[in-house]
Structure 1
Amino acid sequence: MNILIAGLIFAQISQLEFNYITSPQVAGDSFDITIVAKTATGDTFRYNFPGLLKTTRDDFWSYCEPQLVDFYQGVCRRKVRVSIADTLRLRCEASGIIGYSNQFRVIPNYPERLLILCPGESIAPGSPEGKLSHPVNQTAGIGFSISVFLVDNWFNPVSFRSDMVYLACTDSFAQLSSGNLINGKITLPVTLRRAGTHRIIARIDDTSIRPDTSVSFDVFPNIFSNLCLLLPGEELLPGDTTSLIYQTPGKTGAPLRQYVKEPFVVRVIPTDACYNRVYSYPPRADLDTVYLASDFAMRVEPSYVALTDTACFIVTFDSTGENQNLWVIGKAHESYRSKVNIEAKTKRIVTLHPDTIRAGAVITIEATLYDANDKIIKGKYTQFAVTRGNGIMLDSSGLTDTAGIIRARFVCSGANSNETDSITITADDYTHTIGIFIEGDETVLAGRPIAFPNPFGYNQDRTEIQYFVPTSCNVEMAIYDPFGNLVITKKFRPGEEGAKNGINKISWDGRNGKGKKVANGVYVFKVWGTVYTKKVFDKELRIAVLW
């Protein structure tokens, strides 16, 4: 029943009349409209009901806001805004009755942003995104054009400015151009080099104008036209614009050093002219058959490889040298010469040294280094380390000389008894171990203290004193000047260095108890041990100080 009554009421509407809308209006700015519902007799239809508002330019999008309006007592008064700049009419529909406004013009608003159109896209003024977007895939190294518009907030072109437009791209190797807007628009050539998914960014110097970023689009590799040889340490650099051979076009990273007669892996990758990897189609179909070449003696396994994606070779160079070249050759393509440094690597160490020494004696260990070709190695960094025993290396590392020899000094002054010290000599990843038998110092073992060096001061800023403690006890030492005056004294508890059973080592830096240097002269070192109140040993030694 209610539906029937409503139908009867609305059926009485005969026409919808708009007030006159002046021109021009501004896109996005609101303006007042009045729509009156009238009966066939020309009276106002005084009921409340909704209506649908559009423009005569509506298509995929509606360019009028709001779209739903309400009539009160047959009249609709409100503010509306139109987003598209064009000549058009407003259209209102209510209960099957349609009314149109007068034709009026809408002009663009103030410029607010840029809009990029890539191939496959068309501008759509007044729409939410500003364009119909079906971007076309591109090919690396092949140019195409983009259009840049100066637009208002509703993507209507604004044609009265001529700012300089600058482009940027997610492809760091892209070839981009710039230019001035002409009537708010410019078309610019672009060439992308790196395969992948990319975007283009446009901006102008005026920071009040928002830059624009294009939709994402794919860039595919071009046809197979290059062979790229990668040494260990190098990786493919797609899109690279470098053309100078010494800058290794198409590659990033530096070749790792290689060693004579040690195999290493070389990769060969098929690429387009922009160094994008090219895949065979159909999958696993041979793109080429390739082999390696060099001006230097080398061995390669395998000799030939059918190239489908990445070819791998095992390469061994027979001699040392810098900048030894290597390149790949195919049926129709050939790479540029890559350079690799082939160094000597230690494969054998021959030593010259005494087999047996006395404790405290300083000896020189001589080591000669040889490579895989049994040739001496010059300038090789070598390390020495005592891995067993009480000895120390006075020279722990250095470089071999022009004869492939390095010398290092060794001393063992702390042997409590006879011992064998082990010394490792390391160069590259090769380690050679030698053994030296140390005879304990008979003087110290017999109970007489010794000092090394003695005299000291001019040659070394301290002396090492060794003495033998026959049993665990409290030990006290004292040093006196030539006139018998006490210079310094120190006590040691049982078990600590200076009071342990066996040979003990302490040092004196030639200073008194106040930290001041003593005068030149001969000083008396005394050391004694006590258990309760009984002395178990009492020794002395004269030490010369010469500054």
Structure 2
Amino acid sequence: MRAISSGLHLEATVTPATARAGEPFTLTVRAVNIAGSVIQEVNSWVTVSAKHASSGQPGRGTLFTTQFQLLQGQRSISESYTFVEPIVIVARDDAGNAPALANAITITPGPAAVLHLTSNPTWLGGNQHSTLSAVLADQFDNGIPDQAMSFTLVSGTGTLTPIDIMTGADGSARADLQAPRQPESEIVRASAGGLSSDLTVAVSLVDPNAPGGTVTNFPNPCHPPQQGTTLAYKLDDQATVKIRIFSQTGTLVREVNFNRGATGGMSGLNTWQWDGRNGAGDVVASGGYIVLLEAQGAGQTVNVMRRKIAVVR
């Protein structure tokens, strides 16, 4: 058996210089001597890792193959990587030979696989705006840039205005959604790369995720008799509901009652429109009014809520 030459070290190369995320490229590792000759007696196990080509930090993606054995001093394998970034591959073996640093390869996004659509904020009050963000990504969630993106209002009476017509470097494009004044659901669709995604944005007087006991009204102030106000409140459970409106001096102005489980007394969101009139049917004077809402369940108080309403005639 001939002696192994001195200066033994690993060499590594990758081809081609670019590849899409998740798609194959070729990694070749060789055990060579100082003259560059392959040493066929070496059959060591090689472990490979990736690091960013510029910063030297560990790669943010995953190599498909991280360990393999050299056969007669060399081996070429089909490799892949999942994150979009330029990388170099470091090869080390269990024989203690000097490690190899391969030439750089740039990983680009793979084929479009998913379209994410989100809204900020996730719900809207009347006449409010949200920013819709659509992100076109490959199967590893890498954003795909420079792709045409369209937005469509599938259902609802809001106003949808595209901000971007092409995806940016992170694969995202944006649109503005302005809610109508009345509560409803807006269904928006984003389309790009042969994919589409729908999102429902609730237009509500009360946060759909708010707990029971939450109350608000819109508009505030209101302007009777031309414009009343809608009181919106959430109940933890079905309840018998009593709504009383008082003047600032404590005089009872109006009282309404709703049966348990009926309109106004259901679990979840309920609404009642006050037309700005007192119990006698007269329009109230300008000023501040206090709403006291009491919800009585089966033998216990479910919620007690208070709200100030301004009237401007």
Using structure 2 for the length normalisation, give the TM-score: 0.51
Q: Structure 2: which amino acid aligns with 1:119?
A: T
Q: What is the CA deviation profile of residues 82-136 of structure 1, one whole-angstrom value per residue up to 9, with x for unaligned ones?
A: xxxxxxxxxxxxxxxxxxxxxxxxx62274x43211126xxxxxxxxxxxxxxx2
Where does residue 29 of structure 2 map in the other structure? 148
| Separation (CA, whole Å) in 1 of partners of 2:141 and 2:214 | 46
Using structure 1 for the length normalisation, give the TM-score: 0.32
Q: Structure 2: which amino acid aligns with 1:167?
A: V
Q: Structure 2: which amino acid aligns with 1:315?
A: L
Where does residue 264 of structure 1 map in the other structure? 130
Where does residue 276 of structure 2 map in the other structure? none
* Structure 1 residues 341 and 117: alpha-carbon distance in aligned structure 2, compared to 1, 3 A threshold: farther
1:231 aligns with 2:97: no
* Structure 1 residues 227 and 288: alpha-carbon distance in aligned structure 2, compared to 1, 3 A threshold: farther
| Separation (CA, whole Å) in 1 of partners of 2:98 and 2:199 | 46
Where does residue 161 of structure 2 map in the other structure? 302
User: Secondary structure of the equivalent of 1:192?
Assistant: coil
Q: What is the CA deviation profile of residues 397-437 of structure 1, one whole-angstrom value per residue up to 9, with x for unaligned ones?
A: xxx98965348xxxxxxxxxxxxxxxxx9xxxxxx69xxxx
Q: Is the 8 A contact 1:378 1:404 kept in 2?
A: yes
Gaps of 5+ in 1: 1-23, 27-106, 121-135, 234-255, 281-286, 347-366, 380-399, 408-424, 426-431, 434-547
1:159 aligns with 2:47: no
| Separation (CA, whole Å) in 1 of partners of 2:133 and 2:35 | 53
Task: Select 2:70's aligned residue among 181, 195, 213.
Answer: 181
1:109 aligns with 2:6: yes
Higher relative contact order (CA 8 A, sep 6+): 2
| Separation (CA, whole Å) in 2 of partners of 1:327 and 1:195 | 27
| Residue 151 (structure 1) shift | 3.5
User: Secondary structure of the equivalent of 2:12?
Assistant: strand
Q: Is the 8 A contact 2:149 2:190 kept in 1?
A: no
| Residue 265 (structure 1) shift | 0.4
| Separation (CA, whole Å) in 2 of partners of 1:272 and 1:258 | 28
1:334 aligns with 2:231: no
| Separation (CA, whole Å) in 2 of partners of 1:336 and 1:215 | 39
Q: Show the 5 A alignment for 1:240-319.
A: 257-261=122-126, 262-271=128-137, 275-280=141-146, 287-288=147-148, 290-292=150-152, 297=156, 299-302=158-161, 306-307=165-166, 309=168, 310-315=172-177
Q: Structure 1: which amino acid aligns with 2:24?
A: G
Q: Show the 5 A alignment for 1:401-440.
A: 405-406=304-305
Q: Structure 1: which amino acid aligns with 2:175?
A: F
Over the residues paired in the alignment, what is the CA RMSD in angstroms?
4.5
| Residue 279 (structure 1) shift | 4.2
| Separation (CA, whole Å) in 2 of partners of 1:189 and 1:176 | 9
Where does residue 369 of structure 1 map in the other structure? 215
| Residue 182 (structure 1) shift | 0.7
* Structure 1 residues 190 and 292: alpha-carbon distance in aligned structure 2, compared to 1, 3 A threshold: farther
Where does residue 104 of structure 2 map in the other structure? 216
| Separation (CA, whole Å) in 1 of partners of 2:203 and 2:97 | 57
Q: Show the 5 A alignment for 1:51-70.
A: none
* Structure 1 residues 201 and 232: alpha-carbon distance in aligned structure 2, compared to 1, 3 A threshold: farther
* Structure 1 residues 214 and 298: alpha-carbon distance in aligned structure 2, compared to 1, 3 A threshold: farther
| Separation (CA, whole Å) in 2 of partners of 1:205 and 1:339 | 55
Gaps of 5+ in 2: 52-58, 208-212, 219-229, 237-293, 296-300
| Separation (CA, whole Å) in 2 of partners of 1:154 and 1:338 | 63
| Separation (CA, whole Å) in 1 of partners of 2:235 and 2:125 | 14
Q: Is the 8 A contact 2:15 2:26 kept in 1?
A: yes
